[in-house]
């Protein structure tokens, strides 16, 4: 048999070669192909050697804590599993209420517009706007601290443990807000929060004592991405929304003008 | 408590479907780490991997009715996660192409350790030979793969998935999938060869 092609040898290593026996027989006789197989094997060994950070023994519990509050969203999608007994009962109840409301509506005054629901949505948005605004304020502080940290010449290591601790706290918060922004379709906010999260994670996971060069790398990244500026623009947008909750379109305009300025 | 630990996946699924939300907790706690490992290898950083894990368990919960009785919950949620991860990889590529300075963004998404960049500035042969450095190279090489190739190599090599299973995630047939696995290995090899062979040559040098 002629020498095995790279494709054949990779397939052989993968256990997927068509003429497995023939290749095996050839390999026994051909030192060249054995050498080639060894080189291919080295790639797999390198793959095996890739480390994965251990998320910790309690990782499953943490995942649960994070998703459990969101499982409630399932309730809004009851039609996916409508035949579970509890759901059927609930469904029956809802149908009965709707009929009752309809009948009652016909016997009473004209229906009042659904202000309650709109109000609830407004309240929810307002709470979120305030919370995200505060979160961005705290993040801005962390970034500013890093930007302004005194890095003296000749200094061997810069201790950022305090900033790091706060960055760590902010990561989780940030993730929640980002997921909410994504769900609400606020792409601009989600993308800024995404960039923030990466930097916050980097800060949180860096060694406590940074070499000036490593410190500079983080700082340059914050600057290169214009993160502080983006945070301020989004925050400003939120502040405007907070002040005039009903002028959402105007706020969007402000934000796009801000962006154009960049 | 002991009874809860012993609850099988199938029972936990049934209880969840019957409205016992806490039963789902058993499934999440049991399978999170496996899904995380795959997600990390796919996404290349902890941030995105954790996102994939959370989103996959949420999706699995929402689609649980479709699963009921089918196969094994671990395999099923793994597949949901692989599907979600490949979508995220594709999205990431689109985003990177759209942004200015794509190569820089790629580095960002790789969670490059700032210290390794410092090391890069003074690469002595000994340091290059270090396995940490090899892992960094591998990270970059993996990031250069297409989303399909990366999915194929992760599922095939690390998780030992069958070709058919990978084909299902890639939405492809088994021949094309085998070819994708091959291309992935080939690309990784091209990317790592100078490094691996340098290491080999050095090893031989020390022997002689």
Q: Do A214 and B117 touch (CB under 8 A)?
A: yes
Is the pLDDT higher at A64 or at A77?
A64
The pLDDT, as a whole number, for residue A60 is 95
Distance of CA B155 to the CA centre of its chain: 8
What pLDDT was estimated at residue A252?
Answer: 45
Residue A210 C-alpha, separation from nearest chain B C-alpha, in angstroms: 8
Using the Cβ of A250 and the Cβ atoms of chain B, whether some distance falls under 8 Å is answered with: no
> Is residue A77 predicted with pLDDT exceeding 70?
no
CB contact under 8 A, B29 and A61: yes
SS (H, E, C) chain A: CCCCCHHHHHHHHCCCCCCHHHHHHHHHHCHHHHHHHHHHHHHHHHHHCCCCCCCCCCHHHHHHHHHHHHHHHHHHHHHHCCCCHHHHHHHHHHHHHHHHHHHHHHHCCCCCCCHHHHHHHHHHHHHHHHHHHHHHHHHHHHHHHHHHCCCCCCCCCEECHHHHHHHHHHHHHHHHHHHHHHHCCCHHHHHHHHHHHHHHHHHHHCCCEECHHHHHHHHHHHHHCCHHHHHHHHHHHHHHHHHCCCCHHHHHHHHHHHHHHC
Mutate to test the interface with A, among B15, B50, B166 (most CBs of A within 10 A): B50
Q: How far is A1 from chain B (nearest CA, A)?
A: 22
ipTM: 0.79
> Model-level pTM?
0.55
Residues in Cβ contact with B162 at an 8 Å cutoff, skipping those fewer than 6 apart? none
Mean pLDDT, residues A132-154? 73
Say how far apart CA B162 and CA B165 lie, in whole Å: 5
Residue in chain A closest to B49 (alpha carbons) equals A55
Distance set, CA A261 to CA A193, A229, A233 (Å)? 21, 12, 11
pLDDT along chain B (208 residues), means of 10: 61 90 93 96 95 96 82 92 96 83 49 44 50 83 96 95 95 95 95 73 44
pLDDT of residue A214: 74
Chain A residues near residue B135 by CB distance under 8 angstroms: 49-51
Residue of chain B minimizing CA distance to A9: B182
Residues of A in contact with B104 (CB under 8 A): 224
The predicted structure's pLDDT at residue A240 = 79
> Nearest residue on chain B to A225, judged by CA atoms?
B105
Other C-beta atoms closer than 10 Å to the C-beta of A133 total: 17
């Amino acid at each position: 048999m002629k020498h095995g092609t790279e494709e054949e040898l990779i397939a052989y290593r993968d256990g997927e070669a068509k003429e497995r026996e023939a290749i095996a027989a050839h390999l026994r006789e051909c030192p060249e192909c054995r050498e080639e197989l060894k080189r291919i094997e080295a790639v797999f060994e390198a793959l095996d050697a890739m480390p994965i950070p251990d998320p910790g023994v309690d990782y499953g519990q943490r995942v649960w804590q994070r998703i459990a509050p969101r499982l409630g969203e399932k309730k809004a999608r009851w039609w996916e599993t409508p035949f579970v007994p509890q759901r059927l009962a609930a469904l029956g109840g809802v149908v009965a209420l709707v009929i009752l409301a309809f009948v009652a509506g016909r016997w009473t005054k004209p229906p009042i517009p659904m202000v309650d629901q709109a109000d609830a949505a407004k309240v929810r948005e307002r709470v979120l706007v305030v919370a995200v605004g505060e979160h961005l304020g705290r993040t801005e502080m962390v970034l500013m601290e890093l930007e302004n940290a005194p890095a003296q010449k000749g200094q061997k290591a810069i201790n950022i443990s305090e900033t790091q601790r706060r960055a760590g706290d902010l990561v989780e918060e940030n993730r929640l807000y980002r997921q909410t922004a994504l769900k609400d379709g606020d792409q601009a906010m989600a993308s800024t929060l995404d960039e923030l999260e990466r930097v916050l994670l980097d800060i949180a996971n860096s060694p406590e004592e940074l070499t000036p060069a490593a410190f500079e790398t983080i700082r340059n990244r914050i600057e290169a991405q214009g993160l502080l500026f983006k945070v301020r623009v989004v925050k400003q947008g939120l502040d405007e929304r907070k002040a005039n909750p009903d002028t959402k379109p105007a706020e969007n305009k402000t934000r796009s003008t801000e962006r154009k300025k960049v | 408590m002991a009874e809860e630990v012993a609850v099988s996946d199938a029972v936990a699924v049934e209880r969840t479907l019957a409205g016992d939300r806490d039963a789902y907790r058993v499934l999440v706690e049991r399978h999170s780490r496996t899904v995380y490992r795959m997600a990390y290898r796919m996404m290349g950083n902890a941030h995105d991997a954790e996102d994939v894990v959370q989103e996959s368990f949420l999706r699995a919960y929402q689609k649980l009715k479709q699963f009921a009785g089918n196969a094994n919950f671990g395999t099923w949620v793994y597949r949901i996660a692989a599907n979600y991860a490949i979508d995220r990889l594709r999205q990431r590529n689109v985003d990177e192409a759209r942004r200015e300075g794509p190569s820089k963004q790629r580095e960002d998404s790789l969670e490059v350790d700032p210290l390794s960049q410092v090391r890069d500035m003074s690469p002595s042969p000994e340091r290059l030979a270090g396995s940490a450095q090899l892992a960094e190279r591998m990270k970059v090489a993996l990031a250069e793969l297409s989303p399909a190739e990366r999915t194929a190599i992760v599922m095939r090599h690390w998780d030992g998935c069958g070709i058919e299973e990978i084909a299902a995630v890639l939405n492809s047939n088994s021949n094309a999938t085998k070819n994708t696995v091959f291309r992935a290995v080939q690309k990784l090899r091209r990317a790592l060869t100078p490094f691996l062979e340098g290491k080999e040559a050095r090893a031989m040098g020390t022997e002689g």
